[in-house]
Amino acid sequence: MRMKRLLVAAGLSAALMGGMTALPALAETEIVMPGWADYSGPYADIMPGWEGGRVAVIEWWNANKGKELGVKLTYKGVDGRYDPAQVASLWPGVLSEFKPVLLFGMGGADYAAMKTRLPEDKVPMISPTGGYGFTWADNPWSFNLRPTLAHEAAMYVEWRRKSEAMTRPLKVVVVASEAAPAWVDTVNGIKAFAAGNPDKLDLVDVIWTAPQPTDLTTDIFAAVSKQIDAVIVMTNSAGSVAVKTALDNVGSDVPLMLGAHNGLTAAGAAIGGMETLTNTFECAAMAPPVSGTEAAAFYDELHVSYGLEPAWDNATILGISQGLFIVAIMEETIRRYGAGEFDGEKVREVILDYTVPAAAMHGFTGDMKMNNESSFPLSGLIGYCATVNAGAFMVLEGAVPVPEIPKW
Amino acid sequence: MTLFMTFAINGALQGLLYALVAIGFSVIYRASKVFNIAQGELVVLGGFLVWLTVTEWALPLYLALPLSLALAVVGGWLIEGIFFKRLIGEQVFAMVMMSIALLIFMRGFMLVVFGPDVRAFPAIFPSKPIIFHGVLIIRPLLIGGILTVLIAFGLSYFFNRTRAGLSLTAVAEDHRTAMDLGISVRRASQVAWILGMVLAMVGAVVTMNGNSINFLASGIGFIAIPVALLAGLEAITGMLLAGILIGVTERLTAGYIDPLIGANFASVFPLLLMLLILTFRPSGFFGWKTIERI
């Protein structure tokens, strides 16, 4: 009898203790957030910073906002190699295993693979990279935080003409590759800007090359003989290095303009030091990687308190800004519908309806408002142009407006 | 006219670079009967060995280059020992599958060991181009072209005129027959892979000189395949002619046709040319025609 009582008491104690430890877990709703990554493709070199930014923001949100809302966001990276075939083959597994309501995207390769699947499966996707001409369509399910790379190239055209008080069009050559749809689209966008603004831009030629070019000296020699004002490269870091090396080989001081993803810091690391990048520029509609800003202070907080190891550069900025926009959307959705009471369609409604305030973006962007006519914000965007000064990244002036380009 | 000559001459030199990589295919095929699909990966490995000794370890060139060469020899020996030793005498299909496995393994290996970062590749040769009567000649490609011609004729002499080379050729003909004749197939296979790895390293030095390197640089292996097939897999000196043909057509297409059509037709044109020629000459320009006695 006594033994029976002891056993009952022990059982009750164990049940009580188990229940107590289970209580917080029951109160917390976990939402899994999958994200496309690329550790074995063309963006493998910048992925640690990009994904590191995403993860740190999720940690920060869980610690600060998630606790209050009783929600834990869990990030799951999936290596799609920035390859549409790989992404398409992995998506059914991601969908069934994680049941996502919102997806971290990278860019054109994900979009190319999933443009019909996202609306079918009712999962919106958000990428921090530039939009594309082929995503500039009604009822998007894939959204970008920045305008197209062509818009960012046009920022350089406007800035350069203004800074040199130029009255003629800027003569440029674009170096591109057909290896990714996004790079071809950039060329189409720059062509559209040139066609709509013949007084501002004269696109002299397009040099098509491989993602890892062997030697572009001959192409650049032919290009500079056409009296051009600039070379624009928006492919990857290897492309930036090949063009800069070719310009140096032919002894040309024609300025080189790069995109943020293959920009000054990434190309500087790949060429053996930023001091080599004389007369090289970068323009982007995002926060610049400079110190003393609100965005840099937020990076410092993530670095010190949330284990963000990668350096303060464009790749990390992509990850942090993507993470901040996504957690702001998730927070608003949770507030409207309650944790676990919504699907991807409801999240998309919030993306289209809600203006993410600049305060929630911590200086990485201004107010962010998506629309149903394109994958990216169509107005009110600003950015920066930067160059290298004494081996260091230097923003050239204040905010640079993003020019309008006719839809292509 | 000067621009045309610039395109044509540098196209020919670029083609000789493709030929150098294609000779790697040929050497391994002639001595072991393996069509090494992973030759581009060997180029990247060779490049990383040079980067390691010159940039990472900061050794002077007179030490770094021989050390890279020694490491390449060890690399070739290890690849043969780990992947191909057990396939001696087996079906060709098994060897092709193993070379595909090698390609996948090498990509992962390079990512794990050297990481995904794009790294500055040292300038072994002077980068400044030569300008002669307005015609620009890329100096590293010129040096690489001369090296390729010397290597091609040297290897051709070795395979066709020396006892050791002829025994390697016998191995490629048939492993079992070669073994019956007392030829060491294992040694032939080792020599083939060591030569292939060394050639890949030389190709890497010429291709990446003063530029950059990461695991994606293996694409040159695929560009060299049309050269190897066009010449015929056994024809080492034939690679020079096929390389020049591919390089010049690619360069002229890039210079004159791509701007007209607004697309990268230059990357496809050599493959179309190869398909056209192989339709009429399936064993390539200089490939061996196999006569079987029934």
Contacts of A217 in chain B (CB under 8 A): 10, 129, 136, 138
| Chain B residues 20-79 within an 8 A CB cutoff of chain A | none
Is B7 in Cβ contact with A217 (below 8 Å)?
A: no
CATH code of the domain containing A336? 3.40.50.2300
CA distance readout (Å), B126 to A72, B144, B210, B241? 57, 12, 8, 26
A408 found inside a domain = no
The residue of B118, B220, B251, B268 whose CB has the most chain A CBs within 10 angstroms, and thus the best one to mutate to test that interface, is: B118
A217 in contact with B at a CB cutoff of 8 Å? yes
What's residue A15's pLDDT? Answer: 54
Distance from C-alpha of A118 to C-alpha of A123, rounded to nearest angstrom: 5
Domain region containing A330: 29-148+290-379
Distance from C-alpha of A31 to C-alpha of A127, rounded to nearest angstrom: 19
Same domain assignment for residues A95 and A229: no
pLDDT by residue (tens digit) across B35-66? 899 999 999 999 999 999 999 999 999 999 99
Global pTM value: 0.82
Q: Which of A209, A217, A241 sits opposite B118 (nearest CB)?
A: A241
Is A210 in Cβ contact with B219 (below 8 Å)?
A: yes
Q: How many CA atoms lie within 13 A of B191 on its CB side?
A: 19
What's residue A400's pLDDT? Answer: 83
Same domain assignment for residues A88 and A122: yes
Is B214 in Cβ contact with A212 (below 8 Å)?
A: yes
Residue A208, both tokens: 């098509």
If you write DSSP's letter for every residue of A247-298 in order, what string do you get? HHHTT----EEE-STTSHHHHHHHHT-GGG-TTEEEEESS--S-SSSHHHHH
What's residue A153's pLDDT? Answer: 95
Confidence of residue B34 (pLDDT cuts 50, 70, 90): confident
Residue B161, both tokens: 């005129």
Contacts of residue A114, Cβ cutoff 8 Å, sequence gap at least 6: A87, A88, A91, A125, A142
CB B217 within 8 A of CB A212: yes
Distance from CA of B211 to the nearest CA of A (A): 6
Distance from C-alpha of B14 to C-alpha of B255, rounded to nearest angstrom: 14
Is B217 in Cβ contact with A217 (below 8 Å)?
A: no
CA distance readout (Å), B44 to A151, A268, B199, B222, B236? 36, 21, 12, 13, 22
| Neighbour tally for A205: CB within 10 Å | 18
Q: Which of B207, B259, B264 sits opposite A214 (nearest CB)?
A: B207
Contacts of A245 in chain B (CB under 8 A): 127, 210-211
CA distance readout (Å), A396 to A31, A63, A237, A387, B103? 42, 37, 22, 7, 45
Distance from C-alpha of A221 to C-alpha of B9, rounded to nearest angstrom: 14
Distance from C-alpha of A145 to C-alpha of A109, rounded to nearest angstrom: 16
Same domain assignment for residues A185 and A282: yes
Distance from CA of A189 to the nearest CA of B (A): 14
Contacts of B110 in chain A (CB under 8 A): none
Q: Which of A41, A212, A236 sits opposite B219 (nearest CB)?
A: A212
Is B211 in Cβ contact with A242 (below 8 Å)?
A: yes
Burial string for B59-91 (b: 16+ CB within 10 Å, else e) reads beeeebbebbbebbbebbeebbeebbeebbeee
Mean pLDDT for B188-214 is 92
Distance from CA of A210 to the nearest CA of B (A): 8
A123 found inside a domain = yes
User: Of B222, B230, B225, which Cα lies nearest the Cα of B283?
Assistant: B230
Same domain assignment for residues A143 and A238: no
**Nearest chain A residue (CA) to B253:** A208
Residue A318, both tokens: 């992509």
Distance from C-alpha of A247 to C-alpha of A45, rounded to nearest angstrom: 24
Burial string for B172-182 (b: 16+ CB within 10 Å, else e) reads beebeebeeee
A104 found inside a domain = yes
A4 found inside a domain = no
Same domain assignment for residues A140 and A233: no
Is B214 in Cβ contact with A178 (below 8 Å)?
A: no
Is A47 in Cβ contact with B116 (below 8 Å)?
A: yes
CB A254 within 8 A of CB A247: yes
A40 in contact with B at a CB cutoff of 8 Å? yes
Flag whether pLDDT at B100 surpasses 90. yes
**Nearest chain B residue (CA) to A203:** B259
A247 in contact with B at a CB cutoff of 8 Å? no
Task: Compute the Cα dihedral for A127, A130, A135, A139 and give only its sign.
Answer: positive
Residue type, A277: L
Distance from C-alpha of A133 to C-alpha of A106, rounded to nearest angstrom: 16
Is B119 in Cβ contact with A217 (below 8 Å)?
A: no
B15 in contact with A at a CB cutoff of 8 Å? no
A14 found inside a domain = no
Pairs of CB atoms within 8 A across A/B: 113
User: Of A383, A374, A376, A386, which Cα lies nearest the Cα of A402?
Assistant: A383
Residue B140 CB-density burial (10 A; 0-12 exposed, 13-18 middle, 19+ buried)? buried
Distance from CA of B219 to the nearest CA of A (A): 8
Distance from C-alpha of A37 to C-alpha of A35, rounded to nearest angstrom: 6
Q: Which of B111, B216, B220 sits opposite A238 (nearest CB)?
A: B216
Distance from CA of A194 to the nearest CA of B (A): 15
Residue type, A240: S
CB A377 within 8 A of CB A144: no
| Neighbour tally for B128: CB within 10 Å | 16
CB A271 within 8 A of CB A242: no
In A105-240, DSSP assigns E strands to 125-131, 142-148, 170-177, 201-209, 230-233
The residue of A191, A214, A220, A249 whose CB has the most chain B CBs within 10 angstroms, and thus the best one to mutate to test that interface, is: A214
Confidence of residue B186 (pLDDT cuts 50, 70, 90): confident
Distance from C-alpha of B140 to C-alpha of B126, rounded to nearest angstrom: 7
Contacts of A192 in chain B (CB under 8 A): none
Is A241 in Cβ contact with B127 (below 8 Å)?
A: no
Beta strands A170-177; A230-233: pairing state: parallel
In tens digits, what is the pLDDT along chain A, a chain of 408 residues? 455 665 555 555 555 555 444 444 446 899 999 999 999 888 888 899 999 999 999 999 999 999 999 999 999 999 999 999 999 999 999 999 999 999 999 988 899 899 899 999 999 999 999 899 988 989 999 999 999 999 999 999 999 999 999 999 999 999 999 888 888 999 999 999 999 999 999 999 999 988 877 789 999 999 999 999 999 999 988 899 999 999 999 999 999 999 988 889 889 988 988 999 999 999 999 899 999 999 999 999 999 999 999 999 989 999 999 999 999 999 999 999 999 899 999 999 999 999 999 999 999 988 999 999 999 988 778 889 999 998 999 999 767 888 888 888
What's residue B288's pLDDT? Answer: 75
A1 found inside a domain = no
Q: Does domain B2-280 have CATH number 1.10.3470?
A: yes
| Chain A residues 194-213 within an 8 A CB cutoff of chain B | 205-213
Residue A2, both tokens: 């006594």
A9 found inside a domain = no
| Chain A residues 266-285 within an 8 A CB cutoff of chain B | 266, 269-273
A178 in contact with B at a CB cutoff of 8 Å? yes
Contacts of B129 in chain A (CB under 8 A): 217, 221, 249-250
CA distance readout (Å), A398 to A130, A386, A401, A403? 21, 10, 10, 16
Task: Compute the Cα dihedral for B53, B58, B59, B61 and give only its sign.
Answer: positive
Contacts of B136 in chain A (CB under 8 A): 217-218, 221, 250
Beta strands A368-369; A355-356: pairing state: antiparallel
Contacts of A250 in chain B (CB under 8 A): 129, 136
Same domain assignment for residues A115 and A208: no
Distance from CA of A314 to the nearest CA of B (A): 15
Contacts of residue B198, Cβ cutoff 8 Å, sequence gap at least 6: B46, B69, B72, B73, B76
A221 in contact with B at a CB cutoff of 8 Å? yes
Beta strands A103-104; A142-148: pairing state: unpaired
Residue spans of the domains in chain B: they are 2-280
Flag whether pLDDT at B277 surpasses 90. no
Residue B293 CB-density burial (10 A; 0-12 exposed, 13-18 middle, 19+ buried)? exposed
Same domain assignment for residues A108 and A167: no
Same domain assignment for residues A259 and A156: yes
A97 found inside a domain = yes
Same domain assignment for residues A269 and A356: no
A305 in contact with B at a CB cutoff of 8 Å? no
Same domain assignment for residues A104 and A188: no
| Chain B residues 127-146 within an 8 A CB cutoff of chain A | 127-129, 136, 138, 140-141
Distance from C-alpha of A205 to C-alpha of B284, rounded to nearest angstrom: 36
What's residue A8's pLDDT? Answer: 57
Share of chain B above pLDDT 70, in %: 98
What's residue B294's pLDDT? Answer: 65
Q: Which of A210, A215, A238 sits opposite B118 (nearest CB)?
A: A238
User: Of A222, A150, A156, A153, which Cα lies nearest the Cα of A184?
Assistant: A150
What's residue A154's pLDDT? Answer: 95
Task: Compute the Cα dihedral for A322, A323, A325, A329 and give only its sign.
Answer: positive
Q: Number of folded domains in chain A?
A: 2
Beta strands A382-389; A368-369: pairing state: unpaired
Distance from CA of A282 to the nearest CA of B (A): 18
Residue A103, both tokens: 């997806």
Distance from C-alpha of A269 to C-alpha of B189, rounded to nearest angstrom: 40
What's residue A24's pLDDT? Answer: 46
Q: Which residue has the higher pLDDT, B220 or A140?
A: A140
User: Of A127, A78, A121, which Cα lies nearest the Cα of A104?
Assistant: A127
Distance from C-alpha of B253 to C-alpha of B259, rounded to nearest angstrom: 9
Is B212 in Cβ contact with A270 (below 8 Å)?
A: yes
Residue type, B254: A
Q: How many CA atoms lie within 13 A of B34 on its CB side?
A: 33
